[in-house]
Structure 1
Amino acid sequence: MQDPTMPGPRLEEERKPPLLPGDLMMWILIVSELIVFGAGLAAMLAVRLGDPAGFAAAQDLLDKGGAALNTVVLVTSGLFAALAVRAAEARSTGATRLLLAGASALGLLFLAVKGHEFRGLAASGISTETHAFFMFYYLLTGFHAAHVAAGVLLLGGVGWRCWPAGVEMAAAFWHMVDLVWVLILPVVYLLR
């Protein structure tokens, strides 16, 4: 038996948790993506200052109901991803896979709704050249949709292997996708 007054190996519960959960490279990716989206939104707001009436008229052509539905869809999928992290930590493989599948399915629903909106605008002859608003709209929401697609693949991949660190990493990426949408929504769909 070791003397309690003598220094010894640190107990597991004495170790400090890392400042950020998951892999450092994933956090570098997340922060860099947030900077890119932030720059795009800032540029849109700056250009909007020169033509607020034109931006408002262009914005009126968007499907705000679809945007609201997509917000509920992504926030709910983020909840599923967070619950999947807890299930993975509890080593509940079945629950983890089910929650990741639910988050992925909602991601696919988001893409379907966004695709419907893109098709409707295209059918009306609206493109990136119609107005500066639509250039920003297609760039920001299209780039975001690409991130949703990547996130669906990432969630599916970690669901297949189902290891806690991977689930946590994928969930962090998915939460970034959620956060970006919550930033895009007011600037693109609501700001007057």
Structure 2
Amino acid sequence: MTMHAWSADPFAAKPPTAPGRRLRGPGHVPGEIGIWVFIFGDMLIFAVFFGVFVYERSRAAELFEQAREHMNLAFGAGNTLLLLTGSMFVALSLNASRHGASVRGSRMILVTLLCGAGFVVNKFLEYSSAIEAGHTPSTNSFYMYYFVLTGIHLLHLLLGMVALAIMYRIAGKPVLSRRDLRHLEAGACYWHLIDLLWIVLFALLYLMR
């Protein structure tokens, strides 16, 4: 009887989370299996994109380097800082939600949303600056890859902001269920994916020599 009690689901007898109660078990994998299938699939697709970019760069190193020198490092670094800050706050929000601090958790998600909005504004300013300087997708291969890859990433980020809005509504509940927490974890994992993809793009487009 004692052995059965110890082997039972640690969440089985627990109600939805309340302030001060941590809703997480040992060996816990955040989110749902579906979000991890999507994340690994998306990472595989981007890995192909990155591989093609590096290959094409090796074939026209001088052209790519000349184009890279015209990139505005301040825009790229600013967007990197915004996404890293957003990822930090979404992680803090998830931790707060796990401990029942719903108000603090929802406010931190709002900060991440603001970081995402700042990224969008900064990216459109960068696009405008590049186009005004005569750099468009038809200029050369570098700028074609730049606009396509950063455009796909921007679409991911906009979808991530929709996910953050849903997370904000969920995190604001006075009491969270295990399903609510899994949804928050799934959204956080997706946002971290956006951050990771941008870091690779920043290195390839702005820093790689």
Fold shared per TM-score above 0.5: yes
1:87-124: CA deviation from partner (whole Å, max 9, x where unpaired): 11112111111010001110110111111000111122
SS of the residue aligned with 1:125? coil
The answer as to 2:66 corresponding to 1:57 is yes
Instruction: Give the aligned partner of residue 192 of structure 2.
Output: 175
Q: Name the CA distance, whole Å, in 1 between partners of 2:188 and 2:4.
A: 37
The answer as to 2:116 corresponding to 1:120 is no
The answer as to 2:143 corresponding to 1:134 is yes
> How far is 1:16 from its partner?
5.4
Which residue identity lines up with residue 183 of structure 2 in the other structure? G
User: What pairs up with 1:3-152 in 2 under 5 angstroms?
Assistant: 4=2, 7-9=3-5, 10-13=7-10, 17-18=27-28, 20-152=29-161
Instruction: Give the aligned partner of residue 160 of structure 1.
Output: 169
> How far is 1:40 from its partner?
0.8
Which residue identity lines up with residue 53 of structure 1 in the other structure? E
Q: Name the CA distance, whole Å, in 2 between partners of 1:21 and 1:157.
A: 17
SS of the residue aligned with 1:8? helix
Q: Percent identity?
A: 23
Stretch moving more, 150-159 or 121-130: 121-130
Q: Name the CA distance, whole Å, in 2 between partners of 1:16 and 1:148.
A: 31
Q: Name the CA distance, whole Å, in 2 between partners of 1:120 and 1:84.
A: 35
Kept in 1, the 8 Å contact 2:170–2:184? The answer is no
Structure 1 residue runs without a partner (length 5+): none
Q: Name the CA distance, whole Å, in 2 between partners of 1:11 and 1:24.
A: 22
> How far is 1:13 from its partner?
4.6
Q: Name the CA distance, whole Å, in 1 between partners of 2:45 and 2:148.
A: 11
Kept in 2, the 8 Å contact 1:151–1:174? The answer is yes
Kept in 2, the 8 Å contact 1:40–1:136? The answer is no
Which residue identity lines up with residue 4 of structure 2 in the other structure? G
Q: Name the CA distance, whole Å, in 2 between partners of 1:16 and 1:79.
A: 23
Which residue identity lines up with residue 59 of structure 1 in the other structure? R
Q: Name the CA distance, whole Å, in 2 between partners of 1:172 and 1:121.
A: 32
Structure 2 residue runs without a partner (length 5+): 12-24, 172-179
Q: Name the CA distance, whole Å, in 2 between partners of 1:164 and 1:117.
A: 36
Instruction: Give the aligned partner of residue 184 of structure 1.
Output: 201
Q: Name the CA distance, whole Å, in 2 between partners of 1:165 and 1:185.
A: 30
State the TM-score, normalized to the length of structure 1. 0.92
Cα RMSD (Å) of the superposition? 1.6
